Structure 1
Amino acid sequence: MTEEHEVWVEKYRPEELSDVVGQDSIIERLKTFVEKESLPHLLFSGPPGNGKTTSALCIARGLYGEDWRRNFLELNASDERGIDTIRTRVKDYARTRPVGGAPYKLIYLDESDALTSQAQHALRRTMEMYSNTCRFILACNYSSKIIEPIQSRCAVFRFSRLADEDIEEVLKGIAENEDLDLKKDGIEAIIYVSEGDMRRAINVLQAASAIKQKINEEVIYQVSAKASPEEVSEMMELALDGDFEKARKKLMNLLIDQGLAGDDVLQQMHKEVLDLDIDEPVKVKLIDRIGEFDFRMIEGANERIQLEAALAHISRLGNRMKS
């Protein structure tokens, strides 16, 4: 694949630990491990798109140089989550000697919280038996889903959500390199839809660049399958003012004309509740009911009916506030 057609997430992935943004304290400790070539088993936990996989790849490059792929195995545990994968592929790789005089091999298990309990217990034993020839790096969103015996064998690093300024810095660098006219409102829109996920932010920017060279918030919401926060707030404020019909028409526009998914609309309603000009107790009641509507939709209820019911509830709350 030529560079101009490359996926930007890979094209702009940092190759050195010092280039990873937003995780300074973690990166400093990892750099010490690499410099001393003394690496324990590692457990990376945290939300998606905040540098876990990138850090693992940078560790491999730091330890092995340009030939790092010969001593590095990457598996996605959500695809290969059973005990057979641990007993065969992982174990067979771990038991072989590292190549080129390296001190040990690296096995990176992404989404390791998807491993079954049996697979995790088998992995624990493998980590014990082959610690002389192999080190494990496990990445997960929820460390609580990793069994305690594995956690106790690892140095645990909790990656935090990326700050808005970190995402903005990376986006500006990519836009400059790709000769894009990235507007301020475009950056704010990307930060809004990405929710701290750098991978999503870069993907949205690349998708927007395929449509226009000048990227503003309108283009971002067009390619991200998200409504602008102003539209969602307007819909909820119409319901609060008692104009249920106009609020419903706004909802239909989001679902039908813009093609948004019902659960995405509900999640955005949840985000906008805190910015509504209503009393704190009313916000609490509203968030509580939105959680109930979300549960119903997950259980298979009709999304259009549930969203209209949510607007009806908001409208009733507005009428009570007026009386």
Structure 2
Amino acid sequence: MTDGAQQALRRTMEIFSKTTRFALACNSSEKIIEPIQSRCAVLRYSKLSDSQLLSRLLEVCKAESVSYTDDGLEAIIFTAQGDMRQALNNLQSTFQGFGHVNSENVFKVCDEPHPVLIKEMLSQCVLGHLDEAYKTMAHLWRLGYSPEDIITIVFRVCKNHNMPEYLKLEYIKEIGYTHMHLAEGVQSLLQMSGLLARLCRKSAEPDNLMQR
């Protein structure tokens, strides 16, 4: 809702507050204007776990006779990030659009960089193969994904990537610095390529090689 629409809602809440109770749901409370927030009791809920999402998705698939694969449900859980509404929307959109829920179809609907590509790119960085990692980055760039889209998936994949813990912490730090530069407006393929170079350099540092 726009600020103007929220102001109109605020006035409606004032007029009918004696006879009506309003329940508002949102993903980002900072987008709600202060006059409305001050008239409400704010309840914050944490994200659902992957197992909770999976349990509900299986119930829905069974009840609605949805054709799916395990990697399709895994992709929905990955894209939903603990949001049940998002998970159900993605499930419905994928099934309505393709008639079958698998990983490929889910990422077509959600239009996010495929985590398998990101995982392969990070694996090449761990091995210090900058040229191979850059091929994946350039491919994602040509597909039209924004730097914000790419860096977000890189971070989410890196958190669970199979690599030494000390190296993972270094990677996350570099990813965070790059995300900060992107937020400041420096959004270019050169910026993303620089991230790959720094990740490869972290893998090749003498201390890291000794700990391997």
TM-score normalised by the chain length of structure 1: 0.56
Q: Secondary structure at the match of 1:215?
A: coil
Task: State the alpha-carbon separation in 1 of the partners of residues 24 and 162 from structure 2.
Answer: 46
Counting matched residue pairs gives 206
Closer/same/farther in 2, CA of residues 285 and 221 from structure 1, 3 Å limit: same
Deviates more, 1:277-286 or 1:193-202: 277-286
Q: Is 1:170 matched up with 2:85?
A: no
- What are the equivalent positions in structure 2 for 1:218-229 lying under 5 Å apart? 218-229=104-115
Q: Given the alignment, which residue of 99, 103, 114 partners 2:31?
A: 114
Q: Is 1:214 matched up with 2:127?
A: no
What letter matches 2:146 in structure 1?
A
Task: State the alpha-carbon separation in 2 of the partners of residues 90 and 236 from structure 1.
Answer: 51
More helix by share: 2
1:148 aligns with: none
Task: State the alpha-carbon separation in 2 of the partners of residues 212 and 85 from structure 1.
Answer: 39
From the CA coordinates, give the structure whose radius of gyration is larger. 1
Give the % identical residues: 22
Task: State the alpha-carbon separation in 2 of the partners of residues 322 and 301 from structure 1.
Answer: 32
Contact 1:77 1:115 in 2 (8 A): no
What is the aligned-residue RMSD (CA, Å)? 2.6
1:94 aligns with: 17
More strand by share: 1
Q: Return 5+ residue gaps in structure 1 as ranges.
A: 1-75, 99-104, 128-137, 139-153
CA-to-partner distance for each residue in 1:52-85, whole Å, 9 max, x for gaps? xxxxxxxxxxxxxxxxxxxxxxxx5866445x75
2:177 aligns with: 292
Closer/same/farther in 2, CA of residues 263 and 113 from structure 1, 3 Å limit: closer
Contact 2:118 2:153 in 1 (8 A): yes
- What are the equivalent positions in structure 2 for 1:1-323 lying under 5 Å apart? 80-82=5-7, 86=10, 88-95=11-18, 98=19, 105-111=20-26, 113-117=30-34, 119=35, 124=38, 138=40, 154=41, 157-257=43-143, 259-320=144-205, 321-322=208-209
What letter matches 1:293 in structure 2?
T
What letter matches 1:233 in structure 2?
K
Q: Secondary structure at the match of 1:210?
A: helix
Task: State the alpha-carbon separation in 2 of the partners of residues 191 and 161 from structure 1.
Answer: 12
